[in-house]
């Protein structure tokens, strides 16, 4: 089916609504999340050195509360906006698509303000009673400034995704990152300590909210002209109820998702010194690096699956799902193998030698994130199919299990116990949701592709594992030349092995060639690689 030259309807990968939409949207979302991750790493790289393990540990213990109150304020509406805007737009209901955005914004702005007030007044109790760390009061109070603006950003990004304007998401994230880093460094430099880092995040969301509103007016409202007849208050309440029915399970799911990897820091902060939280907080974002790929695909597959389900196109749906899984595993698995092998050099390079004590936790935690990437894609597929409660139920069970395991293992094994607990839970929920996704969609997983990817990743891992360590100190930072060599060699080995075992398809060749001209000066090199791969494609 993949290689035959058929009509766009028969081969969804070649149609404007087929795999090209998934790939283009996923690529742009990947750029967006890359901005977010690269900016986040730069933020952590600078602040970890400015604050030290203890001060950075305080920021790390504040981050889960920032995420919790952002999710509570947003109420699960961004995915709901994405789904219903795509759904109404697919059947040419422009007025309803516009109203979904407006109604959601009203609700989210009120919720964001209320939860901002709540975190401000509860900060003292959280810092002094639970963590017994008075220095956390001001960073927690600074979170109150984030929530009202973060919900605006979340709502508008949901609207951008719903109309497949992923480039607007990239723009809003770029603005957020630039202001967040600049203001955080400024506030910490003038003596605001850990609270300054959180205030920098707040100013990043404020700037992003302003830019997102401008982008909405210029690029989205033109698609949904203002209706002649204004919707009644009663009808708007009905719409709000519909959105809440979908979004509340999504919000609970999001909270549970956060709990999968944020329970660890919260339990560590309870039993261990702040510097241990600093070690774990530096390991955690590196372990989440593969999520750039899964998040980008998940953001696109939700409205795409919703659209395919609305059109009752099983061929299109199957193509969306199998290709989403395949591309995620193709990129994520070798990346996770590399991170696990070079955990210590990565921590030393990014955060300094003071943080290498987090390396064992990183090597374990990145394995859990490998499992979690597949869970995220499956969760978005099921949500797009109209089953938001299923991921919620699975995650709630996983969260309870994670809390129990962390409280049992952290006091005994420290940060390694937190990493092991998270990995066990990630594997468990992945297995369950993959089984349910196949049952609901009646789509079989590409097991053969997974096996080939696993084999190529294993050979790559064995090859780079024996690269000798060659430390070089440059400007006070220890750089492992073996890590730099692995970054160059690993993709070459992986690509060659995967090509030799017939892992690539004609569709892969067509996709790469379609976008090869956008690589600029590297286009020639990309074409040579494609020609090499094409020799082994049947």
What pLDDT, on the 0 to 100 scale, is given for residue 421?
95
pLDDT tens for each residue of 171-224: 888 898 899 999 999 999 998 888 899 899 899 999 999 999 999 888 888 888
Residue 179 lies in a domain: yes
Q: Are 66 and 148 in contact (CB under 8 A)?
A: no
Q: Where do runs of H (alpha helix) occur along 75-165?
A: 77-90, 94-125, 137-142, 147-162
pLDDT tens for each residue of 39-48: 777 888 888 8
| Residue of higher predicted confidence among 38 and 198 | 198
Query: CA 173 to CA 205: how far, in whole Å?
Result: 9
Q: Are 134 and 87 in contact (CB under 8 A)?
A: no
The bridge status of strand 471-474 relative to strand 477-480 is antiparallel
pLDDT tens for each residue of 356-387: 898 999 999 999 988 988 888 888 788 777 77
Q: Are 48 and 282 in contact (CB under 8 A)?
A: yes
Residue 231 lies in a domain: yes
Please compute the mean of the pLDDT values over residues 100-123 and round it to a whole number.
Answer: 89
What pLDDT, on the 0 to 100 scale, is given for residue 455?
94
The model's confidence at residue 4, banded by pLDDT at 50, 70 and 90, is very low
Residue 518 lies in a domain: no
Identify which of 385, 391, 388 has the alpha carbon closest to the alpha carbon of residue 313: 385
The model's confidence at residue 260, banded by pLDDT at 50, 70 and 90, is confident
- Give yes or no for residue 20 having a pLDDT over 60: no
Please compute the mean of the pLDDT values over residues 102-122 and round it to a whole number.
Answer: 89
Write out the residue range of the structural domain in which residue 72 sits: 12-445
Mean per-residue pLDDT of the chain: 81
- Give yes or no for residue 519 having a pLDDT over 70: no
Report the range out of 71-80, 383-392, 432-441 with the highest average pLDDT.
432-441
Q: Are 8 and 14 in contact (CB under 8 A)?
A: yes
pLDDT tens for each residue of 508-518: 787 777 766 66
- Give yes or no for residue 1 having a pLDDT over 50: no
Please compute the mean of the pLDDT values over residues 527-531 and round it to a whole number.
Answer: 79
pLDDT tens for each residue of 381-404: 887 777 777 888 888 899 999 999
In DSSP terms, 269 is beta-bridged to none
Q: Which residues 6+ apart lie within 8 Å of 367 measured at CB?
A: 336, 340, 423
Centre a 10 Å sphere on the Cβ of residue 185 and count the other Cβ atoms it contains: 18
Query: CA 25 to CA 167: how far, in whole Å?
Result: 9
In DSSP terms, 472 is beta-bridged to 479
Please compute the mean of the pLDDT values over residues 121-149 and round it to a whole number.
Answer: 88
| Residue of higher predicted confidence among 354 and 308 | 354
Joined together, the tokens standing for residue 253 give 């799911």
| Helix axes 233-271 and 77-90, enclosed angle (nearest 10) | 140
Residue the block writes with tokens 């560590």: 268
What pLDDT, on the 0 to 100 scale, is given for residue 82?
84
Q: What is the 3-state secondary structure (H, E, C) of 279-319?
A: HHHHHHHHHCCCHHHHHHHHHHHHHHHHHHHHHCCHHHHHH
**Residues in the chain, total:** 538
Query: CA 35 to CA 171: how far, in whole Å?
Result: 9
Q: How many CA atoms lie within 13 A of 498 on its CB side?
A: 28
Q: Tell me which DSSP letter residue 131 carries.
A: S
Please compute the mean of the pLDDT values over residues 58-80 and round it to a whole number.
Answer: 83
Q: H helices then E strands: how many in the chain? A: 19, 2
| Residue of higher predicted confidence among 529 and 314 | 529
What pLDDT, on the 0 to 100 scale, is given for residue 412?
92
Please compute the mean of the pLDDT values over residues 413-441 and round it to a whole number.
Answer: 92
Q: Which residues 6+ apart lie within 8 Å of 143 measured at CB?
A: 62, 65, 66, 69, 116, 119, 123, 198, 202
Report the range out of 59-63, 157-161, 186-190, 500-504 with the highest average pLDDT.
186-190
Of all helices (H) and strands (E), which one includes residue 473?
Answer: strand 471-474
Lowest-confidence range among 79-88, 457-466, 474-483? 474-483
Please compute the mean of the pLDDT values over residues 319-335 and round it to a whole number.
Answer: 83
Of all helices (H) and strands (E), which one includes residue 153?
Answer: helix 147-162
The torsion angle over the Cα atoms of residues 405, 408, 411 and 415, rounded to 10 degrees, is: -20
Joined together, the tokens standing for residue 273 give 């010194």
Q: Tell me which DSSP letter residue 164 carries.
A: T
What pLDDT, on the 0 to 100 scale, is given for residue 520?
65
What pLDDT, on the 0 to 100 scale, is given for residue 476?
58
What pLDDT, on the 0 to 100 scale, is given for residue 9?
36
- Give yes or no for residue 313 having a pLDDT over 70: no
What pLDDT, on the 0 to 100 scale, is given for residue 14?
40
Chain-centroid distance, C-alpha 119: 25
Centre a 10 Å sphere on the Cβ of residue 221 and count the other Cβ atoms it contains: 13
What pLDDT, on the 0 to 100 scale, is given for residue 3?
37
Please compute the mean of the pLDDT values over residues 102-119 and round it to a whole number.
Answer: 89
pLDDT tens for each residue of 89-104: 777 788 888 888 888 8
Residue 329 lies in a domain: yes
| Residue 471: strand, helix, or coil | strand
Residue 248 lies in a domain: yes
What pLDDT, on the 0 to 100 scale, is given for residue 257?
73
Q: 239: alpha, beta or left, given left = phi > 0 and alpha = psi -120 to 50?
A: alpha
Residue 493 lies in a domain: no
Joined together, the tokens standing for residue 288 give 């989440």
- Sign of the alpha-carbon dihedral angle for 383, 335, 64, 138: negative
The structural domain count of the chain equals: 1
Q: Are 419 and 299 in contact (CB under 8 A)?
A: no
Residue 497 lies in a domain: no
Q: Which residues 6+ apart lie within 8 Å of 63 measured at CB?
A: 262, 265, 281
Residue 128 lies in a domain: yes
Centre a 10 Å sphere on the Cβ of residue 318 and count the other Cβ atoms it contains: 17
Identify which of 71, 161, 63 has the alpha carbon closest to the alpha carbon of residue 112: 71
Query: CA 493 to CA 491: how far, in whole Å?
Result: 6
pLDDT tens for each residue of 231-251: 888 888 888 888 888 888 778
Query: CA 215 to CA 28: how far, in whole Å?
Result: 16
Query: CA 17 to CA 15: how far, in whole Å?
Result: 5
Q: What percent of the chain is modeled with pLDDT above 90?
A: 20
| Residue 354: strand, helix, or coil | helix
Query: CA 361 to CA 410: how far, in whole Å?
Result: 12
The model's confidence at residue 6, banded by pLDDT at 50, 70 and 90, is very low
What pLDDT, on the 0 to 100 scale, is given for residue 2?
36
């Amino acid at each position: 089916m993949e290689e035959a030259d058929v009509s766009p309807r028969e081969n969804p990968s070649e149609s404007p609504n087929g795999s090209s939409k998934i790939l283009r949207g996923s690529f742009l979302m990947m750029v967006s999340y890359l901005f977010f991750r690269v900016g986040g790493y730069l933020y952590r790289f600078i602040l970890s050195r400015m604050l030290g393990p203890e001060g950075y540990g305080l920021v790390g213990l504040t981050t889960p509360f920032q995420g919790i109150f952002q999710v509570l304020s947003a109420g699960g509406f961004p995915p709901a906006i994405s789904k219903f805007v795509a759904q109404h737009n697919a059947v040419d209901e422009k007025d309803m698509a516009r109203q979904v955005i407006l109604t959601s914004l009203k609700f989210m702005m009120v919720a964001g303000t209320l939860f901002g007030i709540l975190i401000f007044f509860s900060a003292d109790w959280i810092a002094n009673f639970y963590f017994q760390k008075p220095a956390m009061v001001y960073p927690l109070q600074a979170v109150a400034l984030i929530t009202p603006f973060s919900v605006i950003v979340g709502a508008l990004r949901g609207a951008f995704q719903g109309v497949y304007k992923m480039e607007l998401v990239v723009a809003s994230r770029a603005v957020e990152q630039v202001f967040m880093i600049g203001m955080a460094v400024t506030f910490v430099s003038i003596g605001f300590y850990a609270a300054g880092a959180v205030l920098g995040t707040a100013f990043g969301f404020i700037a992003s909210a302003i830019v997102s509103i401008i982008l909405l007016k210029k690029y989205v409202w033109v698609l949904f002209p203002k209706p002649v007849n204004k919707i009644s208050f009663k009808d708007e309440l009905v719409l709000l109820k519909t959105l809440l029915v979908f979004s509340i399970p999504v919000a609970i799911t999001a909270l549970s998702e956060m709990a999968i990897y944020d329970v660890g820091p919260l339990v560590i902060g309870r039993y261990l010194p702040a510097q241990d939280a600093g070690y774990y907080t530096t390991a955690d974002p590196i372990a989440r690096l593969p999520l750039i790929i899964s998040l980008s695909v998940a953001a696109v597959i939700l409205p795409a699956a919703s659209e395919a389900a609305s059109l009752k196109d099983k061929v299109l749906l199957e193509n969306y799902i199998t290709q989403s899984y395949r591309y995620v595993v193709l990129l994520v698995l070798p990346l996770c193998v590399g991170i696990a092998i070079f955990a210590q050099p990565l921590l030393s390079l990014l955060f300094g030698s003071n943080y290498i004590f987090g390396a064992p936790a990183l090597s374990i935690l990145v394995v859990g994130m490998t499992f979690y990437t597949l869970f995220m894609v499956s969760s978005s597929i099921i949500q797009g199919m109209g089953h938001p409660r299923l991921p919620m139920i699975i995650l709630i069970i996983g969260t309870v299990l994670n809390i129990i395991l962390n409280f049992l293992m952290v006091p005994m094994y420290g940060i390694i116990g937190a990493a092991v607990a998270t990995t066990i839970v990630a594997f468990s929920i992945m297995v369950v949701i993959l089984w349910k996704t196949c049952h609901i969609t009646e789509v079989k997983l590409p097991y053969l592709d997974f096996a080939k990817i696993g084999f190529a990743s294993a050979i790559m891992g064995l090859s780079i594992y024996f690269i000798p360590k060659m430390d070089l100190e440059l400007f006070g930072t220890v750089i492992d030349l073996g890590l730099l060599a692995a970054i160059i060699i690993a993709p070459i080995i992986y690509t060659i092995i995967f090509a030799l075992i017939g892992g690539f398809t004609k569709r892969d060749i067509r996709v790469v060639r379609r976008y090869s001209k956008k690589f600029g000066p590297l286009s020639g090199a990309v074409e040579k690689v494609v020609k090499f791969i094409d020799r082994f494609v049947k």
